[in-house]
Structure 1
Amino acid sequence: MALEDASHNIIAELLQQRTGQTLTESRRWRISTALSGLFREFGIENVDQLACMLERPGEHRLATRVVEALLNNETYFFRDHAYFSTLANTVLPELAKRRASTRKISIWSAACSTGQEVLSLAMTFLEQPGRWQDWTIEILGTDVSGKAIEQAKTGTFSQFEIQRGISVAQMLKFFSETPKGWKVADKVMAMTRFEQRNILDYPPAPGRFDLVLCRNCLLYFDPDTRRSAFERLATGTAADGFLMLGAGETVVGQTDRFEPAPFGSAMYTPKAASGVSSILDGTLPRAANA
């Protein structure tokens, strides 16, 4: 094995250990490009030098920076409008019927990146004030990237980020321009909270969500890790709740914890439990946080 190949393996193993994501051979071209900024900052000349530095004791900070740089945080507001249309017109009205007695809906956006999906969900509710008056809506966004979560908590976005998916009407209604960028309105942020969390860890509180979104994340996992992720997602989804995946992702042939919902190609529902999940008895491994 060439030295550079060995170095790529060290970096790929670091990413998988911290996040569960697999850096396949076809994606390893991203390493040098994604880490170019770190190379300049730390005076690193190539991946071999970086690999040697990562092998030294006490390089946790550098390792975390490497992982953060390699994560794909691509996202934008109302990504895949057809999906949000399905949520607004079909899924959420169905949940309103099922939660009529409590008038409360809890949503978990797993792998939320810098928060645009979470904020898009909040705006979806706010654009239907008559339907959701006097309801309690809680939307939690989690991501393994601490850097992404810190930005999400600020609720501030660049002009470029705002223009991706937000209409002029929504921009004027839900954002205000500040010296640091476009700041989302307090009424939007009030419905949300953000936590740094690995999807392979145990589900966050409240533990059983009415709607879980995990889009464009599972495709980066190998089959075994993907099955573990589905276990976590199933444990975090209410028995009569819904799971939404991204385009090109499916539960079919991947897990027996979910089955297709009767509407929307990306929508799934938990299967009735046939026994105690291995996540509950602690037999599934926990992944380390970045």
Structure 2
Amino acid sequence: MSAAPATLRFLANLLEQHSGQQMAESRLWRVETALKPLLRERSLGSLAELVTALIGRRDERLAGLVVEALLNNETSFFRDRAVFELLATAGLDRMRTRRAAERRLSIWCAGCSTGQEAYSLAIQFAEARTRWDGWRIDLLATDISHGAVTQARDGRFSQFEIQRGLPVGQMLRWFEQDGAHWRVRRELAGRIRFREHNLLDPAPLAGKADIILCRNLLFYFNAERRRVAFDRLHAAIAPDGLLMLGAGETVVGQTDTFVSDPEIRGLYRPSGPQAATRAA
């Protein structure tokens, strides 16, 4: 028997309260699917029983477990590869020129999920070793989900996960088989720092990020929270930095803190005279 709409909405509201992320009415079907393992684990017969337990606060950890299960961790290696290629060529060419004196790049993957995006970036730098010889590449990857960050840090992926977007050659070069799974090689894992962070909280890099990737996350927020998220990204990025969004996302009509980069269409830069001065 399907759960009552009020039950589904209660659980979706719980997700929004704890993470800021909304679940559209058309996506409420995910609630029951995502929470089935938790129901079995807690010997609960239905979502209605789960809601009763949440309201009764019999288990203080239960709300966090529900939110963790409802977070959408959809990702893949080199997702929307054309945008990754744009970043790897025009984007990194620009930042390499502008940071030639410091020989250091700071990159933030916000909403990194289980780590495929961050590992994709690390692979790009590792395979251009000569070009970046002598450079310090600080790659920070964050996500609100404890489970996602734990898996990302562990660097262990199923056969299904490893094949999504990752060519066989790169898979064999940068991962080693671990039973039925594949684990990232230590050389690659050591290039990334993973930590838990909510995008709506103060940014972890105050004005220091040369490049920020925040992809396929902002559309889960309502307009007000989306503006807050853009403000957090703006607080983290360098005045001449680059922002990379998801393929279906844009800054147009969403924020005044970023504008489309006129020279690298598909990427964004901070707005304002300070950005324009340093970017010149």
Q: Which residue of 2 aligns with 1:51?
A: 51
Ranges in structure 1 where 5+ consecutive residues have no aligned partner: 275-290
Indicate yes or no: 2:10 matched with 1:13. Answer: no
How far 1:238 moved relative to its partner?
0.6
Deviations 1:112-151 (A, max 9, x none): 0000100100110111122101100011110010000000
**Counterpart amino acid of residue 217 in structure 2:** C
Q: Which residue of 2 aligns with 1:159?
A: 159
Q: Which residue of 2 aligns with 1:200?
A: 200
Q: What is the SS of the residue equivalent to 1:35?
A: helix
- Partners of 1:60 and 1:109 in 2: CA distance: 31
User: Does the CA-based 8 Å contact 2:205-2:237 persist in structure 1?
Assistant: no
Superposed counterparts of 1:1-290, under 5 Å:
4-57=4-57, 59-179=59-179, 181-205=181-205, 207-272=207-272
Q: Structure 1 residues 155 and 258, CA, compared in 2 at 3 Å: closer, same or farther?
A: same
Q: What is the SS of the residue equivalent to 1:55?
A: helix
User: Does the CA-based 8 Å contact 1:112-1:141 persist in structure 2?
Assistant: yes
- Partners of 1:50 and 1:263 in 2: CA distance: 52
How many residues are treated as equivalent by the alignment?
Answer: 272
**Counterpart amino acid of residue 202 in structure 1:** P
Deviations 1:188-228 (A, max 9, x none): 11210100110101111465200000000011111111111
How far 1:46 moved relative to its partner?
2.2
Structure with the bigger RCO (C-alpha within 8 Å, sep 6+) is: 1
- Partners of 1:7 and 1:176 in 2: CA distance: 44
How far 1:178 moved relative to its partner?
2.2
Q: What is the SS of the residue equivalent to 1:131?
A: coil
- Partners of 1:68 and 1:12 in 2: CA distance: 12
How far 1:180 moved relative to its partner?
6.3
Q: What is the SS of the residue equivalent to 1:253?
A: coil
**Counterpart amino acid of residue 80 in structure 2:** D
Q: What is the SS of the residue equivalent to 2:130?
A: helix
- Partners of 1:29 and 1:9 in 2: CA distance: 11
How far 1:8 moved relative to its partner?
2.4
Q: What is the SS of the residue equivalent to 2:210?
A: strand
TM-score (norm 1): 0.89
**Counterpart amino acid of residue 267 in structure 1:** L
Q: Report sequence identity in percent.
A: 48
- Partners of 2:273 and 2:225 in 1: CA distance: 21
Query: More deviation in 243-252 or 57-66?
Result: 57-66
TM-score (norm 2): 0.92
Ranges in structure 2 where 5+ consecutive residues have no aligned partner: 275-280
How far 1:234 moved relative to its partner?
0.6
